[in-house]
Amino acid sequence: MSVRPNIQSLVLSGSELTILGESEDDPDLVGIFAVVSQDGAAGAARLSFIAARAGSGWQATMKNTPFRKGAAEAMGVQVHVDPFQSTSWVQSVIIT
């Protein structure tokens, strides 16, 4: 996805989900919060996280998740402090 911020990939290894994303390379960007949601025959899986940043890239790893490979939805919010502003986004994602 070329528009930033966004989630680039969600990779499931066993029950551990790794999320990689991109934002602007902005020193005033202080936080990224996101939620991943997936509905299925076994019920709904929902998980929120605060991402760790390094330049324009960010990532989060969640252990012991109920997710499975396939379609999911994600929503995120990033916060800047100078000037104070927030940016939110929603996107359809595939867990691989």
* Model pLDDT, residue 42: 54
DSSP string of the chain, one letter each residue: --SSSEEEEEEEETTEEEEEEE----TTEEEEEEEEEEEETTEEEEEEEE-EEETTEEEEEESS----SEEEEEEEEEEEETTEEEEEEEEEEEE-
d(CA 64, CA 56): 27
Condensed to tens digits (0 to 9), the pLDDT of residues 55-89 reads 678 888 888 888 999 999 988 888 888 888 998 99
- Going from N- to C-terminal start, the domains of the chain cover 6-95
Kindly report the pTM of this predicted structure.
Answer: 0.81
CATH code linked to domain 6-95: 2.60.40.10
Condensed to tens digits (0 to 9), the pLDDT of residues 6-45 reads 899 999 999 999 988 888 888 888 888 888 999 875 556 7
